[in-house]
Structure 1
Amino acid sequence: MKTQLKLNSDNLLQALSNPQELKRLRDANRHVNALGTPLTREEKDMADWLGRLKLLHGVPFNYLVPDNNMLPMESIRLFYMDSIWLDYLVEGALSLGRSTSGDSVHDQAFLGEVHHFSRFGVRDQRSNVLGHLSFHLNHEEKQLLKASAGPISPTEKITGFLLRSGVVSGWEGLQVEAFSDEAGKQSCQLLRLDHLSANVMLCIFEGEAQHITIHEYPEVLHFGVKIMSADSYVKSLRYIVDQGEHKAGTQVNAAIAPPMDVSRHLRTGSRVLRMNDLANAMHTEVKEKIGYTGSFSAAEFALEMVQGVQAVNFKIDTTP
């Protein structure tokens, strides 16, 4: 049963000057969610806006990089986000509407909730980062995304990097992964990935990134060889089927099967491969070196020739 509130001008003014009483009046006719999640559309909009602010949306670039010499061309700068600085950033944004003593009392009453909602907003931006790709996640990835819903912990470390390079504009589909361990097993959740300019990329992650991989998008998979010199090319072999502890597709140790000399199968005076000759030679190699006795069709040849996307790995030493 809801309590009927009767206020005259005197006790109304008294209530408006008391943060605890102001909050009690608001909660008297408001459904309280035990989880503390944003309840109304306005609160959700506020959480979303503050979450974006905490991920530095709208912050001028010269606030992030005060001097160009701090981020020269072809450089990367790793950083930690200071949670206290972010709280002050929120305070600064809210102070724009604080012009009377009543506004100050209102903020004292509800500022804790505002900061709490902003931590929801930070995580909610993840779906915006993924965009339409979230519809293509497998069931396990979707469950992981749902499980991570909720406010980010006030003590959670948020890390990221600024990359200024020609590759940002040259390869617009660059993808980034971050891990909290050097082995690259524990993923850090991506919170923001943006091009701040044609050649500057900003990435922010939840967690302390110790291993960052920047690579081309998977669609650029292609046939390829390793260039040893201007006129020398080699290709390492792969297992075509599972053989003992070796899985299909994994590379054969060079001690068992040294890389093939692909340049022997070029047309005279050109860099064009004689594909049929190369396929026959490759079939002979896998038969003799790893004992493969199955068929060697276009599928097996493609498995041997496919080249992964280019990637650059950064490992961060976090020891004091």
Structure 2
Amino acid sequence: MSTPYDWLSEFPGLEDHIFVAFVQGADPQGLLTSMGAEMVTGEMTFDELKQAPPSLRQVPPDATRLGATRLGAWTVTWSDNASAGQLTDALVKAAPERALVIVAVSSYSSSSRFLYRRDGVVRLGFEPYDRTAITGQDAEDLLPLMASSRVPLAPVDRATGLQLDSDADDPGDPLRGSLTLADRITRTSLTPKILRGAFTWGLFTRDAFPSAAPSSTHPLRDTKDLASALKTATPAARTRAVMFALQHMATDAQATGDPVVTRALEAIQRGDTEPPADLAPILEAWRQEARSAPKRWEVGPRDTDKIARMRRGIRRNNLAEALEAVYGTDPEQAAAHVIAPVRRDVTIHRELLGILRGH
């Protein structure tokens, strides 16, 4: 599926490592100076910069180059050799009260991040390759915008680009999805023409970056919140949550039409303490399917059949373990085990939490 950022392939290396930031209302030269740039050039394109004297174009091993230009009501900055953490801290300290959106994506390191700040508060933050720790005061409200921007809502394998915890045929792309999300928040758009245009360039020594004061965040504490809700849930609410989780997993595992699974879910709903006699062979068959399915390191982004088999194997193995765990002697522990595979799915977090709390 095409995306607004398919043009990134026109810029060699940019898909593998890019730092882009949007700062509302800032002056390009003033922003770079406030960040502590040791050298600030006049406006020139990236191609012109590469033809400039060595004192301007060369970037020492311990330095970072950052370009800045106006884009509507925003100043957009970008770098192809940025240290994401240090540049983020420097931007936050230079413009603490301004609206700020940062997309820093690296496919070969763990320094990727997305950050949206406004009025001095983190509104949304996440690691583009791993959505298990979404933070921000507006995080839950922005989940639909993340999904429509095609930001993958489950962890993505850096080596293959495959989503690890979803059967979606087209899970999205961490870099393109994050840039599209930034566009929708800022109501602007980065284009090839802009990147090929004139920027004011700043050079920073990485060790000289100022540290920003810690910023408050409001994490989606899914593990803590669900564990707390599970402890206080009524037996009826706990059963409803278990059924919700199992039905979600059965759908993902493509097992909803299996009559044995249907009878097993009906037995759980009734409160039976023993599984149906014909369930065990089904679970063993699923485990065998999971063992024989292609492994992640054997699958490429275009191996559609292998991708489908790998994901179905993972999902069916999860469902098998959950169906066995639900018959445990401790209802709370059994429920926790069943809910564990789906608790990281931020798209159902709110509904699952509501069920446990009796809403």
What's the TM-score, normalizing by structure 2?
Answer: 0.27
Higher relative contact order structure (alpha carbons within 8 Å, sequence separation ≥ 6):
2
What's the TM-score, normalizing by structure 1?
Answer: 0.30
Bigger-Rg structure (1/2): 1
